[in-house]
Homo-oligomer: A and B are copies of this chain.
Amino acid sequence: MKTTVSLVLALLAVAGARAEVVVRPEPIQPIEAAKPADPRKVELGKKLFFETRLSKSGFLSCNSCHNLSAGGTDNLPSSIGHKWNLGPINAPTVLNARFNLAQFWDGRAKDLTDQAGGPIANPGEMGSNHELAVEVLTTIPQYVTWFEEIYGKNPVSIEQVKDSIAAFEETLVTPDSRFDRWLKGDDAAITEAERKGYQVFKETGCIACHNGPAVGGNSFQKFGLVKAYEKDTTTVGRMGVTKNEADRFVFKVPTLRNIELTYPYFHDGSVWTLEEAVTVMSVHQFGKPIKPEDTALIVAFLKTLTGKQPDFPIPTLPPSTATTPRPSAL
Protein backbone atom coordinates (compact mmCIF):
# COMPACT_ATOMS: atom_id res chain seq x y z
CA MET A 1 0.00 0.00 0.00
CA LYS A 2 2.69 2.43 1.11
CA THR A 3 4.75 1.51 -1.94
CA THR A 4 1.78 2.14 -4.23
CA VAL A 5 1.17 5.58 -2.71
CA SER A 6 4.86 6.47 -3.10
CA LEU A 7 4.81 5.31 -6.69
CA VAL A 8 1.71 7.40 -7.45
CA LEU A 9 3.26 10.45 -5.80
CA ALA A 10 6.48 9.95 -7.77
CA LEU A 11 4.51 9.70 -11.02
CA LEU A 12 2.54 12.83 -10.16
CA ALA A 13 5.78 14.69 -9.46
CA VAL A 14 7.15 13.69 -12.85
CA ALA A 15 3.90 14.70 -14.55
CA GLY A 16 3.96 18.02 -12.70
CA ALA A 17 7.53 18.73 -13.72
CA ARG A 18 6.76 17.89 -17.33
CA ALA A 19 3.67 20.14 -17.29
CA GLU A 20 5.67 23.14 -16.13
CA VAL A 21 6.27 25.43 -19.06
CA VAL A 22 9.48 27.34 -19.45
CA VAL A 23 8.65 30.71 -20.96
CA ARG A 24 11.21 32.30 -23.29
CA PRO A 25 12.82 35.33 -21.61
CA GLU A 26 11.29 37.96 -23.87
CA PRO A 27 9.96 41.49 -23.18
CA ILE A 28 6.48 40.17 -24.04
CA GLN A 29 4.92 37.65 -21.68
CA PRO A 30 2.12 35.19 -22.42
CA ILE A 31 -1.46 35.96 -21.44
CA GLU A 32 -2.69 33.52 -18.84
CA ALA A 33 -6.27 32.24 -18.65
CA ALA A 34 -8.54 34.08 -16.24
CA LYS A 35 -9.07 32.60 -12.79
CA PRO A 36 -12.09 34.48 -11.45
CA ALA A 37 -12.29 34.71 -7.66
CA ASP A 38 -16.09 34.87 -7.64
CA PRO A 39 -17.83 33.25 -10.63
CA ARG A 40 -21.24 34.55 -9.47
CA LYS A 41 -19.96 38.12 -9.65
CA VAL A 42 -18.54 37.47 -13.11
CA GLU A 43 -21.87 36.06 -14.23
CA LEU A 44 -23.75 39.10 -12.92
CA GLY A 45 -21.21 41.43 -14.53
CA LYS A 46 -21.65 39.59 -17.82
CA LYS A 47 -25.39 40.22 -17.77
CA LEU A 48 -24.81 43.89 -16.93
CA PHE A 49 -22.27 44.13 -19.77
CA PHE A 50 -25.06 43.11 -22.18
CA GLU A 51 -27.75 45.08 -20.31
CA THR A 52 -29.30 47.65 -22.66
CA ARG A 53 -31.44 48.99 -19.81
CA LEU A 54 -28.33 50.65 -18.35
CA SER A 55 -28.75 53.13 -21.22
CA LYS A 56 -31.44 55.80 -21.33
CA SER A 57 -32.72 54.54 -24.68
CA GLY A 58 -32.79 50.91 -23.59
CA PHE A 59 -30.91 50.22 -26.82
CA LEU A 60 -27.20 50.46 -25.95
CA SER A 61 -25.07 48.27 -23.71
CA CYS A 62 -21.36 48.02 -22.94
CA ASN A 63 -21.29 45.37 -25.67
CA SER A 64 -22.58 47.87 -28.27
CA CYS A 65 -19.19 49.58 -28.44
CA HIS A 66 -17.05 46.84 -26.88
CA ASN A 67 -18.49 44.11 -29.05
CA LEU A 68 -17.21 40.75 -27.80
CA SER A 69 -17.97 39.23 -31.19
CA ALA A 70 -15.60 41.73 -32.81
CA GLY A 71 -12.40 41.92 -30.79
CA GLY A 72 -14.01 43.81 -27.89
CA THR A 73 -14.48 47.01 -29.90
CA ASP A 74 -16.89 48.39 -32.51
CA ASN A 75 -14.52 48.70 -35.47
CA LEU A 76 -15.66 52.28 -36.00
CA PRO A 77 -13.50 55.42 -36.06
CA SER A 78 -15.47 56.62 -33.04
CA SER A 79 -18.42 55.09 -31.29
CA ILE A 80 -22.09 55.76 -31.88
CA GLY A 81 -23.92 56.76 -28.70
CA HIS A 82 -27.27 58.08 -27.49
CA LYS A 83 -29.24 59.80 -30.26
CA TRP A 84 -26.53 58.71 -32.75
CA ASN A 85 -23.93 60.93 -31.12
CA LEU A 86 -20.51 60.28 -32.65
CA GLY A 87 -17.94 60.10 -29.85
CA PRO A 88 -14.74 62.13 -29.81
CA ILE A 89 -12.35 59.18 -29.73
CA ASN A 90 -11.92 55.58 -30.85
CA ALA A 91 -13.30 52.95 -28.44
CA PRO A 92 -10.40 50.91 -27.03
CA THR A 93 -10.88 47.16 -26.87
CA VAL A 94 -12.06 45.71 -23.57
CA LEU A 95 -10.07 42.55 -24.26
CA ASN A 96 -7.03 42.39 -21.98
CA ALA A 97 -7.95 45.85 -20.64
CA ARG A 98 -7.20 44.46 -17.19
CA PHE A 99 -3.50 44.83 -18.04
CA ASN A 100 -3.78 48.59 -18.69
CA LEU A 101 -2.09 50.86 -16.15
CA ALA A 102 -5.25 53.00 -16.32
CA GLN A 103 -8.40 53.11 -18.47
CA PHE A 104 -9.51 55.37 -21.35
CA TRP A 105 -6.95 56.75 -23.84
CA ASP A 106 -6.06 59.52 -21.40
CA GLY A 107 -5.98 57.22 -18.36
CA ARG A 108 -8.59 59.26 -16.50
CA ALA A 109 -10.03 56.12 -14.86
CA LYS A 110 -7.59 54.37 -12.59
CA ASP A 111 -8.97 50.87 -13.19
CA LEU A 112 -11.81 48.86 -14.75
CA THR A 113 -14.15 49.57 -11.82
CA ASP A 114 -13.54 53.28 -12.15
CA GLN A 115 -14.13 53.08 -15.92
CA ALA A 116 -17.36 51.08 -15.83
CA GLY A 117 -19.50 53.92 -14.54
CA GLY A 118 -18.37 56.45 -17.14
CA PRO A 119 -20.21 55.47 -20.32
CA ILE A 120 -23.51 54.80 -18.47
CA ALA A 121 -23.72 58.44 -17.40
CA ASN A 122 -22.09 60.03 -20.45
CA PRO A 123 -24.83 61.97 -22.33
CA GLY A 124 -23.17 61.11 -25.65
CA GLU A 125 -22.70 57.44 -24.85
CA MET A 126 -25.36 55.49 -22.92
CA GLY A 127 -27.08 58.74 -21.93
CA SER A 128 -28.37 57.54 -18.58
CA ASN A 129 -27.26 58.44 -15.06
CA HIS A 130 -26.24 56.33 -12.09
CA GLU A 131 -29.46 56.90 -10.14
CA LEU A 132 -31.62 55.82 -13.07
CA ALA A 133 -29.44 52.79 -13.81
CA VAL A 134 -29.69 51.64 -10.20
CA GLU A 135 -33.45 52.27 -10.14
CA VAL A 136 -33.88 50.11 -13.23
CA LEU A 137 -32.00 47.21 -11.65
CA THR A 138 -33.77 47.61 -8.31
CA THR A 139 -37.17 47.11 -9.96
CA ILE A 140 -36.13 43.77 -11.47
CA PRO A 141 -36.42 41.10 -8.75
CA GLN A 142 -33.95 38.70 -10.35
CA TYR A 143 -31.23 41.37 -10.32
CA VAL A 144 -31.96 42.22 -6.70
CA THR A 145 -31.54 38.55 -5.80
CA TRP A 146 -28.25 38.28 -7.66
CA PHE A 147 -26.87 41.44 -6.07
CA GLU A 148 -27.93 40.17 -2.63
CA GLU A 149 -26.24 36.82 -3.18
CA ILE A 150 -22.98 38.61 -3.91
CA TYR A 151 -23.07 41.83 -1.91
CA GLY A 152 -25.41 40.94 0.94
CA LYS A 153 -28.70 42.54 1.78
CA ASN A 154 -27.68 46.10 0.95
CA PRO A 155 -29.58 48.20 -1.57
CA VAL A 156 -28.27 47.84 -5.12
CA SER A 157 -25.68 50.59 -5.72
CA ILE A 158 -23.68 51.92 -8.63
CA GLU A 159 -20.53 50.77 -6.82
CA GLN A 160 -21.81 47.20 -6.97
CA VAL A 161 -22.73 47.62 -10.64
CA LYS A 162 -19.23 48.88 -11.46
CA ASP A 163 -17.59 46.20 -9.32
CA SER A 164 -19.42 43.35 -11.03
CA ILE A 165 -18.92 44.69 -14.55
CA ALA A 166 -15.21 45.05 -13.78
CA ALA A 167 -15.10 41.49 -12.40
CA PHE A 168 -16.50 40.25 -15.72
CA GLU A 169 -14.06 42.39 -17.69
CA GLU A 170 -11.19 40.94 -15.66
CA THR A 171 -12.01 37.61 -17.31
CA LEU A 172 -11.83 39.05 -20.83
CA VAL A 173 -8.31 37.91 -21.60
CA THR A 174 -7.21 36.20 -24.78
CA PRO A 175 -4.68 33.47 -24.01
CA ASP A 176 -3.27 30.87 -26.37
CA SER A 177 -2.33 33.10 -29.29
CA ARG A 178 0.17 31.55 -31.66
CA PHE A 179 2.77 33.98 -30.38
CA ASP A 180 2.12 32.87 -26.79
CA ARG A 181 2.49 29.25 -27.79
CA TRP A 182 5.83 30.20 -29.30
CA LEU A 183 6.78 32.07 -26.10
CA LYS A 184 6.00 28.87 -24.23
CA GLY A 185 8.42 26.90 -26.36
CA ASP A 186 6.45 25.70 -29.37
CA ASP A 187 8.82 26.59 -32.21
CA ALA A 188 6.29 25.56 -34.84
CA ALA A 189 3.56 27.88 -33.54
CA ILE A 190 4.76 30.77 -35.71
CA THR A 191 6.35 30.81 -39.14
CA GLU A 192 9.86 31.90 -39.93
CA ALA A 193 8.55 35.18 -41.39
CA GLU A 194 6.52 35.86 -38.26
CA ARG A 195 9.51 35.16 -36.01
CA LYS A 196 11.58 37.46 -38.17
CA GLY A 197 8.80 40.05 -37.92
CA TYR A 198 9.09 39.89 -34.15
CA GLN A 199 12.83 40.46 -34.46
CA VAL A 200 12.23 43.54 -36.65
CA PHE A 201 9.54 44.72 -34.19
CA LYS A 202 12.17 44.70 -31.47
CA GLU A 203 15.03 46.14 -33.51
CA THR A 204 12.93 48.96 -34.96
CA GLY A 205 12.06 50.08 -31.45
CA CYS A 206 8.33 49.23 -31.27
CA ILE A 207 9.08 47.01 -28.29
CA ALA A 208 10.08 50.06 -26.22
CA CYS A 209 6.42 50.87 -25.64
CA HIS A 210 4.66 47.71 -26.79
CA ASN A 211 5.84 45.17 -24.25
CA GLY A 212 4.55 43.20 -21.29
CA PRO A 213 1.70 40.67 -21.44
CA ALA A 214 -0.64 43.06 -23.30
CA VAL A 215 2.11 44.25 -25.70
CA GLY A 216 1.27 47.78 -24.58
CA GLY A 217 -1.14 49.30 -22.08
CA ASN A 218 1.53 49.77 -19.44
CA SER A 219 2.74 53.32 -20.13
CA PHE A 220 1.70 56.74 -21.40
CA GLN A 221 3.61 58.01 -24.44
CA LYS A 222 3.48 60.97 -26.75
CA PHE A 223 1.82 60.34 -30.12
CA GLY A 224 4.06 62.20 -32.57
CA LEU A 225 7.18 61.89 -30.45
CA VAL A 226 9.64 62.84 -33.19
CA LYS A 227 7.35 64.20 -35.90
CA ALA A 228 4.09 65.90 -34.89
CA TYR A 229 0.90 64.04 -35.77
CA GLU A 230 -1.05 66.43 -37.97
CA LYS A 231 -4.34 64.56 -38.53
CA ASP A 232 -5.75 65.36 -35.09
CA THR A 233 -4.34 68.38 -33.29
CA THR A 234 -7.25 69.00 -30.91
CA THR A 235 -7.37 65.83 -28.81
CA VAL A 236 -4.82 66.61 -26.10
CA GLY A 237 -4.89 63.20 -24.35
CA ARG A 238 -3.26 62.87 -20.96
CA MET A 239 -2.91 66.67 -20.58
CA GLY A 240 -6.66 66.81 -20.03
CA VAL A 241 -6.12 64.82 -16.86
CA THR A 242 -2.81 66.19 -15.56
CA LYS A 243 -3.20 69.79 -16.85
CA ASN A 244 0.48 69.48 -17.62
CA GLU A 245 1.56 70.94 -20.99
CA ALA A 246 4.17 68.20 -21.27
CA ASP A 247 1.29 65.71 -21.50
CA ARG A 248 -0.18 67.25 -24.65
CA PHE A 249 -0.78 64.44 -27.21
CA VAL A 250 0.27 61.86 -24.62
CA PHE A 251 -1.93 58.75 -24.68
CA LYS A 252 -1.98 55.37 -23.07
CA VAL A 253 -0.09 53.01 -25.36
CA PRO A 254 -2.76 50.66 -26.75
CA THR A 255 -2.44 46.90 -26.46
CA LEU A 256 -1.41 45.11 -29.63
CA ARG A 257 -3.11 41.90 -28.54
CA ASN A 258 -5.76 40.97 -31.16
CA ILE A 259 -4.72 44.02 -33.14
CA GLU A 260 -5.82 42.29 -36.36
CA LEU A 261 -9.39 42.51 -35.02
CA THR A 262 -9.44 46.00 -33.49
CA TYR A 263 -9.17 48.30 -36.52
CA PRO A 264 -9.41 51.20 -37.18
CA TYR A 265 -6.27 52.28 -35.38
CA PHE A 266 -5.05 55.16 -33.19
CA HIS A 267 -7.09 57.34 -30.84
CA ASP A 268 -8.74 58.97 -33.84
CA GLY A 269 -9.48 55.71 -35.64
CA SER A 270 -8.04 57.24 -38.77
CA VAL A 271 -6.13 54.26 -40.12
CA TRP A 272 -7.74 51.01 -41.26
CA THR A 273 -4.83 48.72 -42.10
CA LEU A 274 -1.93 47.45 -40.04
CA GLU A 275 0.44 48.28 -42.86
CA GLU A 276 -0.52 51.95 -42.70
CA ALA A 277 -0.50 51.96 -38.90
CA VAL A 278 3.05 50.59 -38.79
CA THR A 279 4.15 53.15 -41.37
CA VAL A 280 2.59 56.05 -39.46
CA MET A 281 4.18 54.90 -36.21
CA SER A 282 7.63 54.68 -37.77
CA VAL A 283 7.39 58.16 -39.24
CA HIS A 284 5.90 59.90 -36.20
CA GLN A 285 7.54 58.02 -33.33
CA PHE A 286 10.95 57.36 -34.88
CA GLY A 287 11.13 60.08 -37.53
CA LYS A 288 12.07 57.69 -40.28
CA PRO A 289 10.34 55.80 -43.03
CA ILE A 290 10.15 52.04 -42.73
CA LYS A 291 10.99 49.68 -45.57
CA PRO A 292 7.88 47.96 -47.02
CA GLU A 293 9.42 44.54 -46.45
CA ASP A 294 9.95 45.36 -42.77
CA THR A 295 6.37 46.56 -42.49
CA ALA A 296 5.18 43.30 -44.00
CA LEU A 297 7.24 41.30 -41.52
CA ILE A 298 5.99 43.31 -38.53
CA VAL A 299 2.39 42.92 -39.70
CA ALA A 300 2.92 39.18 -40.04
CA PHE A 301 4.16 39.11 -36.44
CA LEU A 302 1.25 41.28 -35.21
CA LYS A 303 -1.25 38.79 -36.59
CA THR A 304 0.20 36.08 -34.33
CA LEU A 305 -1.07 38.08 -31.33
CA THR A 306 -4.71 37.11 -31.90
CA GLY A 307 -5.69 34.92 -28.96
CA LYS A 308 -8.67 32.90 -27.88
CA GLN A 309 -11.73 35.11 -28.18
CA PRO A 310 -14.51 35.31 -25.56
CA ASP A 311 -16.37 32.02 -25.49
CA PHE A 312 -19.47 31.81 -23.32
CA PRO A 313 -23.19 31.41 -23.94
CA ILE A 314 -25.08 34.61 -24.72
CA PRO A 315 -26.62 35.81 -21.46
CA THR A 316 -30.37 35.79 -20.88
CA LEU A 317 -31.59 38.99 -19.22
CA PRO A 318 -34.44 39.03 -16.70
CA PRO A 319 -37.61 40.93 -17.72
CA SER A 320 -38.61 44.39 -16.52
CA THR A 321 -41.59 44.81 -14.25
CA ALA A 322 -44.46 47.29 -14.12
CA THR A 323 -42.35 49.67 -12.00
CA THR A 324 -39.20 49.58 -14.15
CA PRO A 325 -38.49 53.04 -15.59
CA ARG A 326 -39.24 52.94 -19.28
CA PRO A 327 -36.60 53.62 -21.90
CA SER A 328 -36.53 56.91 -23.74
CA ALA A 329 -34.95 57.34 -27.15
CA LEU A 330 -35.07 61.12 -26.71
Q: Name A residues whose Cβ lies closer than 8 Å to a Cβ of B.
A: 50, 52-53, 57-59, 64, 67-71, 74-76, 80, 83-84, 86, 260-261, 263, 272-273, 275, 309-317, 319-320, 322, 326-327, 329
Given A84-B84, A327-B75, A329-B80, residue A315 in contact with residue B69 (CB < 8 A):
yes
Q: Is the CB of A76 within 8 A of B322?
A: no
Beyond A57-B76, A58-B76, 16 additional contacts (C-beta under 8 Å) are: A52-B70, A52-B75, A53-B75, A58-B74, A59-B74, A68-B314, A69-B315, A75-B327, A83-B84, A84-B329, A309-B316, A311-B314, A311-B316, A312-B313, A313-B314, A314-B314
Q: A83-B84, A311-B313, A329-B80 are in contact. Are A322 and B59 (CB under 8 A)?
A: no
Q: Which residues of B contact A84 (CB under 8 A)?
A: 83-84, 329
- Which single residue of chain B is at the shortest CB-CB distance from A258? B319
CB within 8 Å for A67 and B80 given contacts A273-B322, A319-B261: no
Contacting pair A329 B83 (CB below 8 A): no
In the bound complex, CA of A86 to CA of B83 (Å)? 10
Q: Which 7 A-B pairs have the closest CB atoms?
A: A84-B84, A309-B316, A59-B80, A273-B322, A69-B317, A261-B319, A50-B69
Within the complex, the shortest CB–CB distance from A203 to chain B, in Å, comes to 26
Q: How far is the CA of A72 from the CA of B326 in the complex (A)?
A: 18
Given contacts A59-B80, A75-B58, A313-B312, contact A272 B70 (CB under 8 A): no
Q: Are B316 and A69 in contact (CB under 8 A)?
A: yes
Distance of A219 Cα from B109 Cα, bound (Å): 55
CA distance A307 to B59 in the complex (A): 24
How long is the Cα–Cα vector from A309 to B316 in the complex, in angstroms? 7
- CB-contact partner of A326 in B70, B272, B322, B327, under 8 A: B272
11 contacts between A and B (CB under 8 A): A52-B74, A68-B314, A69-B314, A75-B327, A76-B329, A80-B329, A260-B319, A263-B319, A273-B322, A313-B314, A314-B314
Q: How far is the CB of A51 from chain B (nearest CB, A)?
A: 9
Task: Kindly state the separation between the CA atoms of A214 and B224 in the bound complex, as whole angstroms.
Answer: 60
- Chain B residues within an 8 Å CB radius of A59: 64, 74, 76, 80
A125–B319 alpha-carbon span in the complex (Å)? 25
Chain B residue at smallest Cβ distance from A324: B272
**What residue in chain B is nearest A80 (Cβ atoms)?**
B59
Please give the distance in Å from A208's CB to the nearest CB on chain B: 27
Q: Which of B58, B70, B272, B313 contacts A322 (CB 8 A)?
A: B272
Given contacts A50-B69, A74-B58, A313-B312, is CB(A320)–CB(B86) below 8 Å?
A: no
